[in-house]
Amino acid sequence: MELNYFFKEFNIFNLGDHMNKADPEKFNGNKEERDIQIDSQIINQITSNLSLTLPLTISLYLLPLIVILWSLFIGRFEVEPGNVIRILLSPFIPIEHSWTNAEETIIFQVRLPRIIAAVMVGAALSMAGAAYQGLFKNPLVSPDILGVSSGAGFGAAIAILIASSSWMIQVFAFVGGIVAVLCTYLLSRLYKSGQILVLVLSGVIVSSFFGALLSITKYVADPYEKLPTIIFWLMGSLSSVRYGDIIAIAPAMILGGTILILIRWRINLLALGSDEARTLGINMKQITRIIILCATLLTAASVCISGIIGWVGLVVPHLGRMVTGPDYRRLLPMTSVIGASYLLIMDDLSRTLITTEIPLGILTALLGAPFFAYLLWRRKTGWA
Please report whether residue 189 resides in a domain: no
Q: Can you give the three-state secondary structure of 106-146, one letter per residue?
A: HHHHHHHHHHHHHHHHHHHHHHHHHHHHHHHCCCCCCCCCC
Please report whether residue 368 resides in a domain: yes
What's the confidence (pLDDT) of residue 4? 41
Q: Taking the CB of residue 57, how many other CB atoms lie within 10 A of it? A: 17
The pTM for the full model equals: 0.85
Please report whether residue 227 resides in a domain: no
* CATH number reported for the structural domain that contains residue 363 in this entry: 1.10.3470.10
Please report whether residue 130 resides in a domain: yes
CA distance 262 to 242: 30
List the domain range (segments joined by +) for residue 110: 2-142+236-378
- Say if CB 286 and CB 159 are below 8 A apart: no
CA distance 107 to 120: 18
Q: Can you give the three-state secondary structure of 280-326, one letter per residue?
A: CCCCHHHHHHHHHHHHHHHHHHHHHHHCCCCCHHHHHHHHHHHHHCC
Please report whether residue 191 resides in a domain: no
What's the confidence (pLDDT) of residue 280? 77
Please report whether residue 114 resides in a domain: yes
What's the confidence (pLDDT) of residue 40? 57
What's the confidence (pLDDT) of residue 372? 80
Q: Can you give the three-state secondary structure of 188-204, one letter per residue?
A: HCCCCCCHHHHHHHHHH
Q: What angle do CA 279, 282, 284 make, to 5 degrees?
A: 110
- Say if CB 236 and CB 359 are below 8 A apart: yes
DSSP 359: P
- Say if CB 157 and CB 212 are below 8 A apart: no
Q: Total domain count for the chain? A: 1
CA distance 155 to 158: 5
Q: Where are the alpha helices (DSSP H) in the chain?
A: 2-10, 16-21, 31-73, 81-89, 101-105, 112-136, 148-162, 166-188, 195-220, 226-235, 243-262, 264-270, 274-279, 284-306, 312-324, 328-352, 360-378
- Say if CB 77 and CB 106 are below 8 A apart: yes
The pLDDT profile of the chain, 384 residues, written as one tens digit per residue, is 333 433 333 343 344 444 444 444 544 555 555 555 555 555 555 544 544 467 778 888 999 999 999 999 998 888 999 999 999 999 999 888 888 999 999 999 999 999 999 999 999 999 999 999 999 988 888 999 999 999 999 999 999 999 878 899 999 999 999 999 999 999 988 886 667 888 999 999 999 999 999 999 999 999 988 999 999 999 999 999 999 999 999 999 999 999 999 999 888 888 777 777 778 778 888 899 999 999 999 999 999 999 999 999 999 999 998 888 888 999 999 999 999 999 999 999 999 998 889 999 999 999 888 988 887 777 654 444
Please report whether residue 279 resides in a domain: yes
What's the confidence (pLDDT) of residue 172? 96
Please report whether residue 168 resides in a domain: no
